[in-house]
Structure 1
Amino acid sequence: MPLFEIETDAHIIITWAADETAAGGVVHEAYPGDKVIRLTKRPRDTWVISKGALGLTTKRVDVCSTARDCLSKSSGDKVHAIRLYMHETGTDLEHARKVIESNMVMGW
């Protein structure tokens, strides 16, 4: 069963569901007053939250939606995601590698 990330106006919900409709149903059942802002099928069956992204460490990590999109398009294949990121942004290999790896640890 796929893992879904659902962002509402008040919550971020991580849940397993058969499809997007069922995932939306989980939200409406648990939080009927919430409006779904974003519903994303995760490419893997695990979820990781970076303490740096939450500000719980002294090291801050920036979230990059382009890198997350590249990771999603590549189904988690780091090398392919790096190539996609380089193509989409025009950045060099080393910078692309750092951005992709940083976003991998943030639970893309």
Structure 2
Amino acid sequence: MPLFEIETDAHIIITWAENEDDAREVVDDAYPEDELMRLTKRPRDSWVISKGALGLTDRTLDPCMTARECLSKSAGDKVNAIRLYRMETGCDLEQARIAIESNMVMGW
């Protein structure tokens, strides 16, 4: 069964479906209010997320551990965690946002 990458105005969904119509149905069922922006059939049956695309390639720090500590200190408050992460690492706002949000998605 092919793997599809579906981008809506609010989500990126990775799902297996028999065809594009079935993949569209997944979005309609799960997120009926979302507007479909892109639907791509992946060339292989696996999904890879590039750490470089997330800005997590600095080998001198463990951004996951630092981000998780900042999330813990801020009791899950994203804005406060981003501020703490910036103070801890010295990175810019966008890099801090990416690190904190990607760790929130992983269930810190």
- Superposition TM-score tier, normalisation by shorter sequence: 0.5 to 0.7
Contact 1:7 1:39 in 2 (8 A): yes
Q: TM-score, normalised by structure 2?
A: 0.52
Q: Give me the CA root mean square deviation.
A: 1.2
The letter of the residue matching 1:43 is: P
- Mapped to 1, the partners of 2:9 and 2:57 lie a distance apart of 26
- Mapped to 2, the partners of 1:35 and 1:14 lie a distance apart of 16
Instruction: State the match for 2:28 in structure 1.
Output: 28
Contact 1:52 1:58 in 2 (8 A): no
Query: 1:41-60: CA deviations, max 9, x gaps?
Result: 0010000001110112238x
**Counterparts of residues 56-67 of structure 1 (less than 5 Å):** 56-58=56-58
Q: In structure 2, list runs of 5 or more residues that go unmatched.
A: 60-108
Which of the two has higher C-alpha Rg?
Answer: 2
The letter of the residue matching 1:38 is: R
Query: 1:65-100: CA deviations, max 9, x gaps?
Result: xxxxxxxxxxxxxxxxxxxxxxxxxxxxxxxxxxxx
The aligned length equals 59
Instruction: State the match for 1:19 in structure 2.
Output: 19
Q: In structure 1, list runs of 5 or more residues that go unmatched.
A: 60-108
The letter of the residue matching 1:42 is: R
Specify the SS of the correspondent of 1:23.
helix
Instruction: State the match for 2:55 in structure 1.
Output: 55
